[in-house]
Chain A
Amino acid sequence: MKTPHDILFARHQAAAPRLDAVRREIVAGLNHQDAKSQSWVALLASWCLGGANKLWLELVWPCRRIWTGLAAVWLLLFIINLSQRDGSQTMMAKSAPTAEMMMTFRDQQKLLNELLADRALPADAERPRIFSPKPRTEIMRLKTV
């Protein structure tokens, strides 16, 4: 006993080689399309490389001395900048005060403060006189006497 499925497939099994041919033809077409799309990628890459090469040959190579000179100037500027940065850093390191210097500075500051404090308090001779006004007649009597 057979199922309808078995009967149907058995009857058409002979068509399998022709169906294989149909399948292969379509898949070959797809492979061709795939290869074509891949060749587009390759084409784009080669175009980019070609462009870079052209740029090098037409823009850089004919004026190579100028480009080299410019590069050397930039390099020199960079080195100078770097060396200056190092010099300022060492200067700053060198100008940092030592402990001894700080002590001397403090002593001098103290002395100056003391001197200034003395000037702030003047001597007795220089104290202001107290003014006491007297009547004019009394002053005249004293002159006559």
Chain B
Amino acid sequence: MPEVADIEQLPVPQARAGKPAAWDVLFRRYQLPLYVYVFELVRDEQAGLDLVQDTFISAVKHIGGLRDDNKFGSWLFGIAHQKIVQRWRKRQEILFDEIPETLDEFESSPDDLLIRRESETEFMDLLNQLPLPQRSVLLLHFVEDFSLEEIARITETQLGTVKSRMHYAKKSLRKLLEQMK
């Protein structure tokens, strides 16, 4: 599991100053997590690569809009999320589903779901069966271990909605995994 983006010392000020080497470090750090997140939502390799490229180009262009250098990771994922939403809108896919806001429990660690080696493919299939908003929240949690507040900022949704989506996504996943046993 990579370290949380907030603790890492990333060359964001240098990138802000327009140093190509600093951008190289930042892209290298986020290229795979970003691709995993994007691909698992769009389910298309070329589209995933294009979206990652667009995200990087937008990041370079709009780095001046980043208020807190420590939030670079969530800011970058926010750009990627916006690009995915734009793509969904173009394809007129269902963006949101109605989920009740009541919560029973919430697991905070992304490691709380442990999957057996032989169940990996099934896990991925189950993940893909989840509605897009739930999948998005869960992926952000799994890929970069973002906090609920950060996920709310990335997806531009209310914190309560994020909590609700996370809860139901995990519940659904757990249920499906138990059914497989």
Q: Does A22 contact B (CB under 8 A)?
A: yes
B111: chain A residues at CB < 8 Å are 3, 5
Known: A7-B124, A12-B39, A26-B23. A19 touches B117 (CB 8 A): no
Q: Does B69 contact A (CB under 8 A)?
A: no
Number of interface residues of A (CB under 8 A): 26
B113: chain A residues at CB < 8 Å are 3-4
Whether A7 pairs with B120 at a CB distance below 8 angstroms is: yes
Known: A27-B23, A30-B20. A22 touches B117 (CB 8 A): no
Q: Please name the residue on chain B nearest to A15 by beta carbon.
A: B35
Bound together, the chains give a CA A129 to CA B22 distance in angstroms of 122
Q: Which of A1-54 contact B (CB under 8 A)?
A: 1-5, 7-9, 11-13, 15-16, 18-20, 22-23, 25-27, 30-31, 33-34, 37
Whether A26 pairs with B45 at a CB distance below 8 angstroms is: no
Q: Does B142 contact A (CB under 8 A)?
A: yes
Interface residues on B, range: 35 or more
CB distance from A14 to the nearest CB of B (A): 10
Q: Please name the residue on chain A nearest to B145 by beta carbon.
A: A5
Whether B49 pairs with A22 at a CB distance below 8 angstroms is: yes
Bound together, the chains give a CA A33 to CA B23 distance in angstroms of 13
Q: Does B36 contact A (CB under 8 A)?
A: yes
Whether A23 pairs with B116 at a CB distance below 8 angstroms is: no
A26: chain B residues at CB < 8 Å are 23, 27, 53, 56-57, 60
Whether A1 pairs with B114 at a CB distance below 8 angstroms is: yes
Known: A2-B117, A15-B45. A23 touches B27 (CB 8 A): yes
**What is the 8 Å Cβ interface bit string for chain B, positions 134-170, against chain A (1 contact, 0 not)?**
0000010011010000000000000000000000000
Q: Please name the residue on chain A nearest to B26 by beta carbon.
A: A23
Give 9 nearest A-B pairs by CB, closest first.
A30-B20, A4-B142, A19-B31, A23-B27, A1-B114, A31-B20, A27-B24, A3-B111, A22-B53
Interface residues of A (CB under 8 A from B): 1-5, 7-9, 11-13, 15-16, 18-20, 22-23, 25-27, 30-31, 33-34, 37
Pull 29 A–B residue pairs with CB atoms less than 8 Å apart, ordered by A: A1-B116, A1-B117, A2-B115, A2-B116, A3-B110, A3-B142, A4-B115, A5-B1, A5-B111, A5-B145, A7-B120, A7-B124, A8-B40, A8-B143, A12-B36, A15-B35, A15-B45, A19-B32, A20-B31, A22-B49, A22-B56, A23-B27, A23-B28, A23-B31, A23-B56, A26-B23, A26-B53, A33-B18, A37-B18
